[in-house]
Chain A
């Protein structure tokens, strides 16, 4: 059976949903193995076992996080060799894609990014040109590297669990030679809301919120949603850049995207037009956002959103 290696960077206390999705896809393709970096806590280790991970690898070096990408790719290349994997799965984050990029050159392996589904024969599905096409693609090389978007599959534990022992992979000494160093790191405060790229519902605001995300936050909390923004709102400093949705921000495909005070420029649409349902609130009936909205309200967001929030609370009791 094909061996499928999943890279999990800093598994943390409990595995992220996106990691569980990768493990589920790995099992559908063959025998899952995991190469992790950082500490492996008991809960995370238990999840790996429950998801049927057959082989587990850890790096000999503890300082991979002190460099940008390079040494992680070297470690992963060594893990691919040891495991005999023919498919490698990583997160679709900026860093995940870059690790995949460097790894692909080391292995002579084709890499496909932004994957949303993988067929048992390795065919990957993805959308391109800002969601205007859906395509299937394959790596034509002996090893394939796929970076998979979150929310691609429902995570499912294996029928029978495993008890993998971690094998240490020697990270080559040369791995850090041509790598930029991370000399300072500041953690961002957690919002307590769902992760933007994984959220089922996103409430996003633009220039129209005029500095006040309050009504959006209230609605988001009533719906259990994440908060997003247009570049106009992040550039104005009303909300962090990591909330930006669009061509140069995040791409999201939630079940529901509520756009408020956003005109719907092409670069904004690039990040959200694959959402299942789009609701738009904008006071200008001519706004392009209404061309893609399933439900649109021409009105003032400061009236419409609080009324909607109150109504949701009333219904939810």
Chain B
């Protein structure tokens, strides 16, 4: 029997990309009114649940903790994670966090992860490959650096055997096999699995699970280290790019290929 695992999955509440998304306010931060659990984090949660279940799940002492940092609404990302199957939820929320860049975010998350590991440190920190709003992919690597842990990022597959983690990472010119001992920070791609949906049983079970709310004071972070003040970058201007408009649409009547080439020639693209 393998040893049980304590896994923290980072889940972000992001604006739904199906709607128009906006930047707002003086600091040009993302408007979070129509938000959902980032779909890329569902792959991380699924990977965590599979690792836990392979070791007997919660009954065998495995824990999958969903941690979200964000304003009040972010608790919905935690709730959804509990419905999908996480064993407990943590919501890091503090007004001072608003406007945090990747560096400030990773500072707060690192402190929260240390706090959650006070009794027993986490074996694995799992994240998605990027947030679907910020899209920088900086946080997993910054978190690994802050926690002094190895990172296994963009994992397209994951195996854990006797404390040794093996992952496949697909690069542009080569594919790598990556190995590390635990604990580690791992980000997974959308190639790794097919995330499950919450079912009725999961939704009912989630109601009995606890969500802990943490403030900056709880995790020992000075408000000046985060938010706009603690960020190392500032967005100075933001302009809406005019949306693309449809151009000429033709229906093929036997010569569309030639018309296409004429269009390219007119645009000087040949």
Closest-CB distance, B121 to chain A (whole angstroms): 14
Contacts of B142 in A (CB 8 A): 101-102, 104-105
What 0/1 pattern do residues 267 to 310 of A give for CB contact below 8 A with B? 10010010001110100010000111111111110011111111
CB <8 Å contact, B137 and A98:
yes
Contact of B172 among A93, A110, A281, A293 (CB under 8 A): A93
Q: Are B248 and A304 in contact (CB under 8 A)?
A: no
Measured between C-beta atoms, what is the minimum distance from A195 to chain B in Å?
Answer: 8
B174 near A: Cβ within 8 Å? Answer: yes
Size category, A interface = 35 or more
**How many pairs of residues, A versus B, come closer than 8 Å at their CB atoms?**
265
Cβ contact within 8 Å between A133 and B238? yes
Which residues of chain B from 247 to 270 have any CB-CB distance to chain A below 8 Å in the complex?
247-252, 255-261, 263-265, 267, 269-270
Interface size, B (range):
35 or more
A residues within 8 A CB of B156? 241
| A106-136 interface bits toward B, Cβ cutoff 8 Å, 1 = contact, 0 = none | 1011111110000000010001111111111
With both chains docked as a complex, state the minimum distance between the C-beta of A303 and any C-beta of chain B, in angstroms. 7
B70-114 residues with Cβ-Cβ distance < 8 A to A are 101-103, 106
**Docked-complex contact B250 and A135, CB < 8 angstroms:** no
Complex contact B103–A308 (CB within 8 A): no
Smallest Cβ-Cβ distance to B170: which chain A residue:
A241
- CB pair B103–A201 under 8 Å, yes or no, is no
Cα of A225 to Cα of B174 in the assembled complex, Å: 21
Asked if A68 contacts B150 (CB within 8 A), the reply is yes
Binds B, one of A51-59, A82-90, A175-183, A205-213: A175-183
Closest chain B residue, CB of each to CB of A255? B269
Assembly CA distance A183 to B18 (angstroms): 40
When distances are taken between beta carbons in the complex, the residues of chain B under 8 Å from A299 are 251-252, 256
Bound Cα distance from A132 to B180, whole angstroms: 39
* In-complex Cβ contact of A178 among B150, B232, B236, B243 (8 A): B150
User: At the interface, yes or no: B144 with Cβ under 8 Å from chain A?
Assistant: yes
B234 within 8 A of A: yes
Complex Cα spacing A188 to B152, Å: 21
Q: Is B133 an interface residue (CB 8 A)?
A: yes
| A187 part of interface (Cβ distance < 8 Å) | yes
A312 to B261, CA, bound (A): 7
Which A-chain residue is minimally distant from B261 (CB atoms)? A311
Q: In the complex, what residues of A have CB within 8 A of residue B130's CB?
A: 248
Q: Which candidate, B53-61, B183-191, B195-203, B205-213, is the interface stretch facing chain A?
A: B183-191
Q: B239 within 8 Å of A by Cβ?
A: yes
Given known pairs A255-B269, A293-B247, A296-B246, the reply for A131 and B144 (CB within 8 Å) is: no
The reply to whether B153 and A141 form a contact with Cβ atoms under 8 Å apart is: no
Q: Is the CB–CB distance between B178 and A68 below 8 Å?
A: yes
CB within 8 Å for A270 and B178 given contacts A101-B102, A291-B244, A310-B257? no
B interface, by DSSP: helix, strand, loop or mixed? mixed
Task: Report whether A294 and B247 are in contact in the complex, using a CB–CB cutoff of 8 Å.
Answer: yes
Chain A hits for B258, CB < 8 A: 307-308, 311
Q: Quick check: is B233 within 8 A (CB to CB) of the other chain? A: yes
Write the chain A residue with the least CB distance to B247. Answer: A294
Q: Are A140 and B132 in contact (CB under 8 A)?
A: no
The yes or no answer to A256 lying at the interface (CB within 8 A) is: yes
Given A102-B144, A129-B23, A299-B252, decide whether A311 and B257 contact each other with a Cβ distance below 8 A.
Answer: yes
In the complex, which of the residues B101, B132, B136, B250 contacts A296, with contact meaning CB atoms closer than 8 Å?
Answer: B250
Find residues 161-185 in chain B having any chain A CB closer than 8 Å to their own CB: 166-167, 169-180, 184
The answer to whether A105 touches B270, judged by C-beta atoms less than 8 angstroms apart, is no
Min C-beta distance of A126 to chain B, whole Å: 9
Q: Are A297 and B252 in contact (CB under 8 A)?
A: yes
Considering the chains assembled together, what is the distance between the CA atoms of A108 and B148 in angstroms? 15
A183 to B176, CA, bound (A): 7
Contact string, B219-254, partner A, CB cutoff 8 A, digits 1/0? 000000000000111111111110110111111100
> Given A98-B151, A270-B17, A298-B249 in contact, is the A137-B234 Cβ separation under 8 Å?
yes
Q: For the complex formed, measure the closest distance between the CB of B235 and the CB atoms of chain A, giving whole angstroms.
A: 5
Contact of B145 with A290 in the complex, beta carbons under 8 Å: no
Q: A298-B250, A306-B257 are in contact. Are A273 and B152 (CB under 8 A)?
A: no
Question: Residues of B contacting A97 with CB < 8 Å?
Answer: 136-138, 141
Contact at A114–B235, with CB atoms within 8 Å?
no
12 contacting pairs across A/B (C-beta < 8 A) = A111-B102, A136-B235, A139-B232, A140-B232, A181-B178, A187-B173, A256-B264, A297-B250, A297-B259, A310-B257, A311-B258, A311-B261
Q: Shortest 6 CB-CB distances between A and B: which pairs?
A: A307-B257, A299-B252, A110-B232, A101-B141, A180-B180, A294-B247
Given contact pairs A114-B135, A179-B180, A183-B178, enumerate 16 new A-B contacts (beta carbons under 8 Å).
Answer: A69-B151, A70-B144, A97-B138, A98-B151, A110-B232, A111-B102, A111-B232, A130-B21, A180-B184, A182-B177, A255-B269, A297-B249, A304-B260, A307-B255, A307-B258, A312-B264
